[in-house]
Structure 1
Amino acid sequence: MTAVATSYHPYVGMWETADGRIRHELLPNGRYDEARGSRESAYQGRYAVSGNHIEYWDDTGFTADGDFVDDVLHHAGMVLYRRG
């Protein structure tokens, strides 16, 4: 997998749960910033997308993954929707 490196990639941008509590910002440089509730930048790291699958590696060494289905991100038991 290669990191997303262009701002026009369809998954770059903000993704959030329906209640807005969990927010993933997928940055065009292959990095992400996750906020939880009022805690901004709770987790940060890199990500890579292959097709509709995303892999996350946070800066503490934790790994996770998810899948985009019909422009909805399914990640670690959460459902995140594109903001905006």
Structure 2
Amino acid sequence: MQKPDHPYVGMWVTADGHVRHELLPNGRYDEARGNRESAYQGRYEVTGDHIEYWDDTGFTADGDFIDGVLHHAGMILYRRE
């Protein structure tokens, strides 16, 4: 489980705002796509600058935080304050 003060907890969005990942402090995530809120949900774990996702529907994905930017599944997401 991630700690509430983990540096990557929060909202991450693509430049066009279409994909939005909210990394919650309890180790869960909620992904919205366009007008579809909560399109994907599941758990995540961060080790160093690497993130692993386990979606509730059964698929897995991963990504890396590089220079404050999340690179995930061919997308680039930026932190939204």
TM interval, short-chain normalised: over 0.9
2:28 pairs with 1:42: no
Query: Which consecutive residues of structure 1, in runs of 5 or more, have no partner in the other structure?
Result: none
Q: Aligned partner of 2:63: which letter?
A: G
Partner of 1:31: 28
Partner of 1:15: 12
Query: Which consecutive residues of structure 2, in runs of 5 or more, have no partner in the other structure?
Result: none
Query: Which has a greater percent of strand?
Result: 2
2:57 pairs with 1:60: yes
CA RMSD of superposed structures (Å): 0.5
TM-score when normalising by structure 1: 0.94
Distance in 2, Cα, partners of 1:8 & 1:47 = 15
Moved over 4 A (4+): none
CA shift digits 1:1-56 (9 cap, x unpaired): xx31x221000000000000000000000000000000000000000000000000
Report the identity percentage: 80
SS in 2 for 1:64: strand
